[in-house]
Amino acid sequence: MTQRASGPFSKGHGTGNDFVLVADPEGAHPLSAARVRELADRRFGVGGDGVIRAVPAGSTGDAVLDALPAGTWAMDYWNADGSLSEMCGNGVRVFVRFLLESGLAELPEGGALDVATRAGLKRVVRRGGLLSADLGPFELGGTRLVASAGLDVPRPGQDVSTGNPHVVVALASEEELAGLDLHRAPALEPAADDGANVEFVVPGTIADGVGSIRMRVHERGVGETLSCGTGAVAAAMATRHWSGDAADRWIVDVPGGRLEVELDDRGHVWLTGPAEIVFRGETLSPVP
């Protein structure tokens, strides 16, 4: 297996959470942390919050992905800093759009496609122009203190696992949310063993069983992003918990647009929103 220095790529996003996507149908071109950092660099590379390789499970070279049903398309997801993540909620939806637009998979309206991720198999369905992902069950954990530039004092944060780790902090007002400086990662006390994505939310109204929240996020391995799908799920489920389970549907407004989160009667959380491929290109070999 050799690393590919040149070749075709696509660029896609879900509510501004952007990814470089490459296809590796033979499992012949693994990514490395250094290659991911080059591709994700917004000035010296293509630019993105993450890099995703589409590769059949069984041929990925990653023990977790290769344990999933052979032949299923696997999302080999990397953060922009070259670290791996278990899961990406916007990424898995953009990944499916990439497979469809590249002719690597088919998904008729109402149909479903299973994707292998490091957090297990995730089902993506096509509803109208949107792609919805079943992210499975979530888990509420303990609490920890979160300090961030722009906040007067540390605030309590709720741990939520959506396959990857999150800490959700409720703020009192839009002004507080706007005043956050997320150029630096929020500090967690106690620290999270594997790091965490941190979501700051301002809960809005709940009407007719639908709640609304506004959110900003600092992603592990990236920095502040315009959106985070698993973050929107974590934020909605933490806010639901604080509300005494008052609603199962949540509208989550992020700087890059709007996502919908819904808890079904099996305890699975669905994430719905736009997922688009915006351009295709070719990386060139570095000049020796």
Ligand X SMILES: N[C@@H](CCC[C@H](N)C(=O)O)C(=O)O
Which active-site residues does the annotation give?
A: 88, 228
61 annotated as a binding-site residue: no
Q: Is the preceding peptide bond at 190 cis, omega within 30 degrees of 0?
A: yes
Question: How far separated are the first and last CA of the chain, in Å rounded?
Answer: 21
Positions that interact with ligand X (CB under 6 A)? 17, 50, 79, 85, 88-91, 164, 197, 219-222, 228-231
Is residue 197 a known part of a binding site? Answer: yes
Which is closer to ligand X, CB of 50 or CB of 211?
Answer: 50
Q: What values do phi and psi take at 94, rounded to 5?
A: -65, -35
Q: Cα 24–27–33 angle (5° rounding)?
A: 80
Count of other CB atoms within 10 angstroms of residue 204:
16
Contact 113, 122 (CB under 8 A): no
Nearest distance, CB of residue 208 and ligand X, angstroms: 27
27 vs 273 by CB, closer to ligand X: 273
Q: Which helix (H) or strand (E) holds 277?
A: strand 276-283
220 marked as part of a ligand binding site: yes
Give the contacts of 159 (CB within 8 A, at least 6 positions apart): 140, 141, 142, 143, 144, 165, 166, 167, 192, 196
17 marked as binding residue: yes
Question: 229 among the known binding-site residues?
Answer: yes
Considering the complex, state which of residue 5 and residue 278 has its C-beta at the smaller distance from ligand X.
Answer: 278
What is the three-class DSSP state of 241?
A: helix
- At residue 91, what are phi and psi to the nearest 5 degrees? -60, -40
CB closer to ligand X out of 86 and 176: 86
From the CB of 221, what's the least distance to ligand X, in Å?
Answer: 5
**Minimum distance, C-beta of residue 6 to ligand X, in the bound complex (Å):** 26
**Shortest Cβ 171–ligand X spacing (Å):** 21
The tokens describing 192, both together, are: 């999270």
Q: What are phi and psi of 180, to 5 degrees?
A: -70, 140
Amino acid at 239: T
- Binding residue ranges: 17, 79, 89-90, 164, 197, 219-220, 229-230
- Binding residue ranges for substrate: 17, 79, 89-90, 164, 197, 219-220, 229-230
